[in-house]
């Protein structure tokens, strides 16, 4: 039985195009709906339908007209700043369900968005359900290996991220010599690693750790790393990257691992 027609709700980054390629290879009909202001990486020039958050109800109508039954969220989208002048009457009726969530953390907002799509009759699935190979198994994927100090830093970072995630704050942290140098907040991973790179003094080595939030709905906002992460970690002077097994997507794995090997940075998929 063929998979249902799928809408990729796309934000920034390489993930939407990767999922599109997988759906195409599997013979699954799909459409890409791109959030205005958050253009995806689209080297192949895939056709996209752009929509504004303020006109979400019109997107629902369009997806129904196209025969979409399933949606998958892919790519980065910042917390929206709604323009009241753009809100259409049908979308205005949805606002009581989403505005309170916008005042909370990312997970609360995403849960509210999922609820709106499900209320419209769409099945919401995770990116890993379409491309399960994005979640690597446990192990060290690089020539460089974490030493005992790095393993201790990783354990400390895992505890920190779990505590932050419980408060719906972030999914990453940098720890070196047992000291927490930075945690991921609203500006994101790149901003955190750039800040670490600018520190005048800090312990030698250290790890960047990434994991989902405890209790997070993994159908959306599943964390991801890729070649850009390796470059940022190298620039920050860290020894390695640690991601939670089955909890973080590895984009462009061959290139990411090759870049890590070239940089002398380890990539460890750690079992929780």
Task: Kindly list the domain boundaries of the chain, sorted by start residue.
Answer: 6-130, 135-270
Averaged over 71-83, what is the pLDDT?
Answer: 82
Residue of 168, 253, 258, 248 lying closest to 208 (CA atoms): 248
The whole-number pLDDT of residue 106 equals 60
Cβ count within 10 A of residue 267: 26
Averaged over 146-159, what is the pLDDT?
Answer: 97
The whole-number pLDDT of residue 107 equals 59
Q: Which of 87-91, 93-97, 242-246 has the lowest mean pLDDT?
A: 93-97
Task: Look at 2 and 51; give whichever has higher pLDDT.
Answer: 51
Q: Which of 11-25, 62-76, 155-169, 213-227 has the lowest mean pLDDT?
A: 213-227
The whole-number pLDDT of residue 183 equals 96
The CATH classification number of 6-130 equals 3.40.50.20
Cα separation of 182 and 25, whole Å? Answer: 40
Q: Is the pLDDT of residue 78 over 80?
A: no
H/E segment holding residue 174: strand 172-176
The whole-number pLDDT of residue 1 equals 65
CA angle 65, 14, 181 (to 5 degrees): 125
104-123 pLDDT, tens digit each: 656 567 778 888 999 999 99
Averaged over 194-201, what is the pLDDT?
Answer: 93
Asked whether 51 and 59 are in contact (CB, 8 A), the reply is: yes
Asked whether 212 and 171 are in contact (CB, 8 A), the reply is: yes
Give the global pTM: 0.86
Asked whether 140 and 261 are in contact (CB, 8 A), the reply is: no
Residue of 265, 220, 261 lying closest to 243 (CA atoms): 265
Cα separation of 224 and 182, whole Å? Answer: 18
Cα separation of 157 and 178, whole Å? Answer: 8
Q: Is the pLDDT of residue 12 over 80?
A: yes
Cα separation of 162 and 214, whole Å? Answer: 6
Cα separation of 256 and 248, whole Å? Answer: 14
Please, which pLDDT band fits residue 166 given cuts at 50, 70 and 90? confident
Cα separation of 210 and 154, whole Å? Answer: 10
The whole-number pLDDT of residue 108 equals 65
Q: Are strands 179-183 and 172-176 parallel, antiparallel or unpaired?
A: antiparallel
Q: Is the pLDDT of residue 132 over 80?
A: yes
Q: Please state which architecture CATH assigns to domain 135-270.
A: 3-Layer(aba) Sandwich (3.40)
- Averaged pLDDT of the chain: 91
Which tokens sit at 84? 């009241």
């Amino acid at each position: 039985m063929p998979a249902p027609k799928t809408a990729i709700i796309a934000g920034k980054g390489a993930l939407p195009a990767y999922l599109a390629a997988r759906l195409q290879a599997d013979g699954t009909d799909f459409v890409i709906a791109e959030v205005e202001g958050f253009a995806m990486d689209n080297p192949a020039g895939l056709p996209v339908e752009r929509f504004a958050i303020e006109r979400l109800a019109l997107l629902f109508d369009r997806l129904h007209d196209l025969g979409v039954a399933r949606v998958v969220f892919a790519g980065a989208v910042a917390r929206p700043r709604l323009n009241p002048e753009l809100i259409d009457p049908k979308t205005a009726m949805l606002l009581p369900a989403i505005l309170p969530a916008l005042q909370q953390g990312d997970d609360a907002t995403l849960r509210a968005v999922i609820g709106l799509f499900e209320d419209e009759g769409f099945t919401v699935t995770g990116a890993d359900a379409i491309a399960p190979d994005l979640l690597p198994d446990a192990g060290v994927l690089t020539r460089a290996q974490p030493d005992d100090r790095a393993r201790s830093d990783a354990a400390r970072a895992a505890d920190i991220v779990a505590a932050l995630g419980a408060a719906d704050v972030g999914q990453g942290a940098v720890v070196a010599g047992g000291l927490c140098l930075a945690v991921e907040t609203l500006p994101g991973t790149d901003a955190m690693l750039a800040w670490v790179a600018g520190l005048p003094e800090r312990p030698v080595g250290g790890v960047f750790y990434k994991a989902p939030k405890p209790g997070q709905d993994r159908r959306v906002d599943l964390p991801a790393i890729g070649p850009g992460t390796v470059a940022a970690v190298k620039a920050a002077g860290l020894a390695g990257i640690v991601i939670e097994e089955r909890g973080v997507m590895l984009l462009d794995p061959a290139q990411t691992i090759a870049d890590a090997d070239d940089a002398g940075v380890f990539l460890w998929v750690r079992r929780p």
